[in-house]
Structure 1
Amino acid sequence: MRTKREHLNAGRRILYLWFPNIALDRLRRITRGRDAEKLSSNAMVIVRTEYGRRTIVATCPISEKLGIAVGWSLSDALALHSKLLVAEIDLLTDKMELTTLANWCGRYTPFVAFDESRKEIGERGLWLDITGCAHLFGGEKKLLDSIIDRLCHIGLTARGVIADTPGAAWALAHFGGLSSQIIKPGAQQAAIADLPLIGLRLPISLVEDLSKVGLRQIKSLFPIARAPLRARFGLEVRRRLDQALGLEAEPISAQISHSPDLVRFVLADPISTMGSILAVLECLLERLMKKLEIRSLGTRELKVSLYRIDGQLDKLIVSTSQDSRDKSIFSKLFFEKFDDFILVSGVDVITLEATKVDIYQPLQSDLISQSDCINSEISVLVDRLVNRFGSSSVIRRSLKESYSPERSETAFPVSSNLHYTKIAQSMSSSFKNTLTVRPLYLLQRPEYIEPLTEYNRSLPFQFRWRHALVNVRRANGPERIASEWWLVEDYYKTRDYFRIEDSDGRRYWLFKERMKQSKKKPSWYLHGLFS
């Protein structure tokens, strides 16, 4: 029978990555090449301003050799070394950089979480749940060496530890003294025994209270009974100790949620040409469609992630209006997406994920009606337009019941379900009596015109529109249109519409607007064009 510890940590492996100088590393990358000689010889520090006092929160190795320590005031450090390079801490930029690193670490595992325990002092960390993932990279040692080497290549100082529990991995990364370390399953108690109590992520005040009674190392807590320890120092000490030893579960919330319908391709060498990427994508599409077919699913959205060797991540998303498992449709959409894509550096891992899936019911080709064929052709066209120009740029217009012309239609982005036949039928029935008297083009809003002379029926003989003089040859009307009675703002307005033809054969749709029970002279507006 398994013990409680064995049950909680059966097969679980956690990798913790600690970035002790993430702000200093960013400063080095920003000034790389431009001030390389200056950076190599001068000391650097990161400071934080609080209540007018600038305190050092991070130091480089050169600063430490000079005797400058974290917690000093900047004035004391400058008195010791006047040529000190100083930068202000930027927690927001650190957070953005850590988010980028978390996305990039998705090449190793989909479960990546932030460590927010000590973010105020300019250091950051990531937890990676690599349970069941290490064999894909040749084992835990090769996986850890690969991560550390790649992070060093892009200019980041990192320490990595693999252990059974997040608490043990955190303690060893901060206080173990090694850049990379792997703790064998079940050996976390011996590994963290000689570490200081701060390695249990306890508050500083609590660590000071424990040191007053002679408890300075983690191993000093092992023989102490729970009840006296809890009575004097509270529940936090025992809880953190149990989490580090694996006696109490410590869940990790993934930063990014991934769909279970995901396929991955790990390349032996980086690729940097579009032809190679599209060839890998074809292979991934075939694997993913087979995976969806086994579960009787279809997808409407696919996301491809390109993990670059410079620590960045590129994502491309294509979507369709209907569920599909046709590899050729998605292949064409991705091909059009990659036409405008610029690859900055090589790619060594590519993943393809179905982010929107649903039950898929394929249609039999012999039983498809003509309307279904029309819907299928339109959906393919819409998919290509949406993926090229964006969903907000491809709109569909629909009739709306209203007396007012500007309210008689509505425009909205193309939805996921296209019912072209129903739309066409409703539009044809509504257009039977309106196509002959309504313009083909309606202005977004009516534009004021200046009538110069008028007929006896108060029709303009000449009018000026957009600084151009228009001579009227014939006119037809009026057609009185009033808004709905519940529209209070337009209740007292009436419009008389006229169809006007000028001397060049152009036809306009004008209206004369007046207020009910008002003696003011009516105003003329142009609302649409027939041709």
Structure 2
Amino acid sequence: MKRWAYIHVGDQRSYPDVNDNSPQICETRDLLVLAESLLRFTPHIALPPLKADTGNGLWLEISGSSHLFGGETSLIEQILDFVTSVGFHPAGAIANRPETARLLARFRQGPAYIVPPNRDRDVLSQLPIGILNPSSGASRFLHQLGITHLGELARLNLTDIEQRLGHEGKRMVSIARALPQTPPALYKASDSPIEDFVFDPPMVPDEALLFTLKRLIYDLILRVTGRSRAIVSLDLELHFDSQPTRHEPFLFAHPLSNEKALFEAVRLRLFEGGSRPWESPDPPRISYLSIQASELVDAPQIQNNLFHRQQQHQEVALINRLGVVLGSGNVLSASIQNSHLPDTSWVGGSYPPQESENPPERQIQRPVFLLPTPLPLQGSLARGEHLKWPNGNGVIHDYWGPERLRGQWWSKPYARDYFVAELQRGERIWLYRDLHTHTLHIHGIFD
């Protein structure tokens, strides 16, 4: 037995996380954003026909998901709380028939109403005929018959009403009787969600652009997080009235699912990095702005600990800020891997680092900064000995080792004894003695 929830959201919406949260007219795009954001509760979302007199709202088929949220009462409360948090003023209802849920959500007092299973007709019987929005001809005919409530309408002969009022009469009686209905067509979300805005008239990029951008990013993140995804790459497009279209691709070092971090990354690129034509004496005007999530991945799992979660958000913001400034390909995480050659004992990857499938068999000390080419050392390996290398020097306070590494007999054979040396200034260096040439080299510096 299927159960349907209908969420009625009215004709206004506010943006809770922007400076100006005054109500705006609720448009079709707002319903599409809401539909995709509600995928977190069920994969089955349906929108009424846009030209139908159904008001602003949508259906959720919840038969397979209500138990995951503690039952229907808990689920409808969580849905309404979420819809309120993103700027709508919702009311909801749950019933067997989609149309029953819609009528109750729109016209019954209170934020939520749950019809017991198989009781749709009983509940509808108390509602006035007017909630069906009959035509003037149908209203006059029903008034002549003395029909004022759906319970009275349900007792009329369906064939007689259809002959007199046509399809409208059949539809009204079917609803009043809670007869099986053709289920609404399910909404299919785009694989690459996009938010856009047309500036009419075109405007000079300034604080107003940031205001619009913040709203678009807020809705884009709602679309993405509703399906438990995060953004890896993003495409931003700006159309000007007097210059070529500008394309700005973003590739993030860490998948993003937070609107504040995403907004900061885009703001940095547009207003602090690269060319900024709007800072010229005669700046071009923007006529169109779009922002599209071109690649999505499953959202990273975040620890439940509040402080750990805050720390992770700060790290993600820093990583992506560095990616915007330095280029995302230049921001990597380093993980140790098994290798006989120190130069290949680490691998760069995305942040946060993934656990290696073949971790090192034992804990080994490796420097944070590994020199691409070992540098020759002057001096000997002994406490109190003064060491010199290009652009550096120090006196050995203590040292540990050796760790013997040898290999690559088939190409460039090497045999080395590695040591960790602590200098009198406190820093530690990684050096080795070449067993073939008996010379010392510095290979890395510990943090």
Output the TM-score relative to the length of structure 1.
Answer: 0.38
Larger Rg: 1
Q: Which has the higher helix share?
A: 1
Output the TM-score relative to the length of structure 2.
Answer: 0.44
